[in-house]
Amino acid sequence: MTNTAANIQCTVPVELGERSYAIDIGRNLIEHAGTMISEFAPGTKCAIVTDTNVNAAHGDSLRASLSGAGLEYHTIEVAAGEASKSSETLGIVVDKLLALRLERSDLVLAFGGGVVGDLAGFAAAITRRGMRFFQIPTSLLAQVDSSVGGKTGINSTLGKNLIGAFHQPSRVLIDVDVLKTLPEREFRAGYAEVAKYGLIKYPDFFDWLEQSHTQIFAHESALVDAIAKSCRAKAEIVAADETEAGQRALLNLGHTFGHALEGYTGYDGARLIHGEGVAIGMMMAHEFSNRMNLCAIDDVDRLRHHLKTVGLPTSIGDIPGDKPNVETLMGFIAQDKKVKRGALTFILTNGIGKAYIADDVPASEVSSFLKDHLSK
């Protein structure tokens, strides 16, 4: 590594044998991305897949970096928002990659938040039966979650992330400085995924977040620490279970409820964005666990207090607009990827940091819980 190393404050390895890669975390990394890419893949051609918002805010910086390193690049811009995770947009991106005559050894650069990362990664997975790609996540949610682990995909009208593939990136470049331009609502939503790691398996991390969240939201050094700790936690879980055959499913804490809520809102970001759905979903998972006599009410209250303290929603009633009905939510839950042979699978908990996979959860219990929750 050249002087770029001075900007890298932490490197987290993801150990997956021949598919292993590094997550580089630091400041001002976009300015050095061209150098880092050219060292990794000299002379490669790059396709930057980004959205309108990120392209306007940071696209010129990335393009200047690639040009400075002598790399050829092309930009493929999609509309910002969850609606771009569609078969229509995927087809457009794939066609453009093919029209550019990019080869399998060239690079797709996923430059944006979770939507762009999932979309660009899936396009890379299926174009020419698999192209290399770099994740350059620009939202907190993408930096701590969706850019790591190789899950790629798009949404279906029947549910979120139902179409996709596991396709590991060649590298992940996390520039903490880009978060300074992230809207506060998006930053808070990303924080929900940070808190998730403490809730599933790392209670000491949740303790630390309760003490350090003010510094994290102020973009102090604690933010780099939070991102690094989140990435280490996810890398550890992914390395043990790459394709979610077992314990990786713990990373879905809150997602079954959250995805159902996103589906109900029609992926309308004005009403609900992914991290907010996860926050409500994690809250509901703890409430449901308490209802099933699995965790103490003190843990439920502790989580609710922390989420409210950082400004995250904690109930379906916090979503603007009409409430869904039980039947609609149960319909989305039944389509969830974590359903096995028709039985409902949820990530439940015995307390903070004690999440576990619960198979064969009775649909009647979930339905009854939703009815009571919606009546509040």
Cα(355)–Cα(351) distance, integer angstroms:
7
Q: Is the separation of the CB atoms in 138 and 177 below 8 Å?
A: no
Residue 112 · residue 84 · CB < 8 Å: no
Q: Can you say how many angstroms the Cα of residue 298 is from the centroid of all Cα atoms in its chain? A: 28
Helices then strands, each counted (H, E), the chain? 14, 11
Region for 145 from its dihedrals, namely left if φ exceeds 0, alpha if ψ lies in -120 to 50, beta otherwise = alpha
Tell me which residues are annotated as active site: 129, 151, 193, 234, 244, 248, 252, 255, 259, 274
DSSP string, 106-165: SEEEEEESHHHHHHHHHHHHHGGG--EEEEEE-SHHIIIIITSS-EEEEEETTEEEEEEE
Dihedral sign for Cα 126, 128, 132, 134, please: negative
Quick one: tokens of 5?
A: 């190393």
